[in-house]
Amino acid sequence: MSHHSGFELLDGRSGPGAVRAAKTFSALAALTCGVAAAALLSLDDPHLRRVGWGWLTNAGICAVALTALLLRRRWSATQAQAVSLMLIGTTLVAQVHADWISALSSKRFAAFEGFKAVALAVATLGPFRPALSYGVVGACAVAPVLLYEVMPAQMRANLPVEAPWTTLVYPLLATGILMYRVRALRMEGEVMRAHARREQLERFAKVSLAYRDLVNSPLQTIELLCAVLRQEYPESKELLDRLRRCASRLAAMGEMLSQTEHQVVWTSKEEAFDAARVIADYHRAAGC
Amino acid sequence: MNGRLLLLDDDADLRFALSDFIEMMSDRQCLAVASFDEMVAAESEVLGCSAALLDVNLGAGKPTGIDAYRWLVSHHFAGRLYFFAGHARVHPLLAEIEKLGAVQVLPKPLDTSKLMEVLTCPTTQASSS
C-alpha cells in the first residue's frame, strides 16, 4: 500500500518516516547542543566549561550522524531507528554528565533539560514504533529521579529546588502526545485501507463493465440469430434451444458481474470507452 | 407500427442479425448505420424513420449513442427513441435521460420476445425540448 499523507511520512515504522525522524532529531540535537556548548564554553567557570565540552562532543556526534543520513540515500527503517536511538543515548549521557558536573558548580543552572527535550522530541517526531517510544519516554521520566537519588546531598543542594519532580511533567505530556499520535496513525491506516479497498472495487467494477461490453453484443447477436434460424429451420429447434440456453447462461454471468457496476465513477471523457484497453490496463496494473 | 427502424450500432454482426430479425418478424425495413457520421450522412433517410435503436458505446473516442440522440432530437426526429446498452445502465447521462422519460434503455442482451414487444408497442415519445 502506498502512503502519501504527512502523518505516514512522520511515522517511524516506515522507512521514509524513520529516516526523516532521524534527520530531524540529529539536526535539532546538533543545533541545540551546539548553542548550549557555545554558551557554556564562554563562561569562566571550569565545571560549566566541562559541561560545554560535553555538549560540544554530542553536537559533533549529531552533526556526523546528520551528514551520514543526508549523504547515504538508502537507509532502512531499522538503520534509521538505530541512529535515532544512538543519538538519544549520547544526548542523555551528555545530559547526565551536564547535570552531575553542573551540580559541582555553585552557579545556578537548569537541570534535566535534555530529558525533557528528548521526551517531547520522541513524542512529536515519532522515530520508533509505539512500544519503543513509550520506553524512551519512560526512561526520560525515571532517569532524572535515579540521578537525583544517587547524587550526594551537597550536590543535590545545588540543583533547582523543584528538581527532579517537575521534570516528570514533560514525559507525562509526551505520553499524552504519543497516545494521540498512535491513535491518529491507527485511524489513518484504517482510512487508507478502506480507500484502497474502494479503489480496488472500482477497478474491478470497471473491468467487469468492460468484459460485459465486449460480450453483450455477441450474446445479443446469438439470441437474434437463434430466433431467425428457429423461424427458418424449425427442424433445428432443439439444437437452437441448446445454443440459446448456453447464451442465456453467459448472459446470467454478465448479470452477476453487473452487481458492481454502480461502483464505477464516470468521467465526461468515458461516455465511450475502449473495453479492450480497460481490460489490458487492469491486467497490467495487477502485474499479469 | 410502421415505417423504417434506424439501427445505430458499431457491431456489424449485430446490425446484420438485428436487421434480419426485425425484417423477418415485423415486416419492417431497417436502416442500419455503423457510426454517428454515417447516420448524419443519411440525414433525410434517418429522419424518415419511425423509431431508432441507438447503441450507447460506438467505439473509443467516437461520438456516442447519446450524441446521436442529441442530434436526432435537435433535428426534430419524430419517431420513438431507444438506447441499446451493453454496459452503461448506470451511466449518469443515461440515467438522467431515462429519468426524463424521453427514451427507453434496453439492456443487451435482450430476449427477442421482449425486443419485439418493445418495438411494436407504443411507448414514450422522444422530446424535442
Q: How many residues does chain B have?
A: 129
Whether the Cβ atoms of residue B47 and residue B2 lie closer than 8 Å to each other: no
ipTM: 0.85
Q: Do A219 and B108 touch (CB under 8 A)?
A: yes
B96 touching A, CB under 8 A? no
Q: Is the pLDDT of residue B127 over 50?
A: no
- pLDDT at position B88 is 58
Q: Which residue has the higher pLDDT, A73 or B18?
A: B18
The cell for A194 is 478502506
Q: Is the pLDDT of residue B54 over 60?
A: yes
Q: Whole-angstrom Cα distance, residue B108 to residue A251?
A: 9
Q: Whole-angstrom Cα distance, residue B53 to residue B82?
A: 5
Q: Do A224 and B20 touch (CB under 8 A)?
A: yes
- pLDDT at position B46 is 95
- pLDDT at position A8 is 47
Q: Whole-angstrom Cα distance, residue A95 to residue B87?
A: 70
Q: Whole-angstrom Cα distance, residue A288 to residue A280?
A: 9
Query: Kind of pairing, strands B5-8 and B80-85?
Result: unpaired
Amino acid at B111: D
- pLDDT at position B125 is 47
Q: Which residue has the higher pLDDT, A1 or B35?
A: B35
Q: Whole-angstrom Cα distance, residue A74 to residue A42?
A: 40
The cell for A106 is 555553585
- pLDDT at position B129 is 35
The cell for A139 is 526512561
Q: Whole-angstrom Cα distance, residue A210 to residue A276?
A: 7
A267 touching B, CB under 8 A? no
The residue with cell 425486443 is: B115
B124 touching A, CB under 8 A? no
Rounded to whole angstroms, what are the CA distances from A243 to A38, A211, A247, A251, B25? 91, 21, 6, 12, 20
Q: Is the pLDDT of residue B128 over 80?
A: no
Q: Whole-angstrom Cα distance, residue A116 to residue A167?
A: 7
Mean pLDDT by 10 residues, chain A (288 residues): 44 79 95 95 90 96 96 90 95 94 84 93 90 95 93 86 86 95 91 91 84 88 93 91 90 80 67 78 78
Q: B79-115: per-residue pLDDT in tens?
A: 989 988 876 566 666 776 777 667 888 888 888 888 8
- pLDDT at position A26 is 96
Closest CA to B113 of B29, B21, B49: B21
A209 touching B, CB under 8 A? yes
Q: How many residues does chain A have?
A: 288
**Which chain B residues are Cβ-neighbours of A254 within 8 angstroms?**
109
- pLDDT at position B90 is 67
pTM of the full structure: 0.61
- pLDDT at position A7 is 42
Q: Closest to B112 (Cβ–Cβ): which among A212, A217, A223?
A: A223
Closest residue on chain A to B106 (Cα): A220
**Which chain B residues are Cβ-neighbours of A218 within 8 angstroms?**
11, 13-14
- pLDDT at position B122 is 56
- pLDDT at position A187 is 93
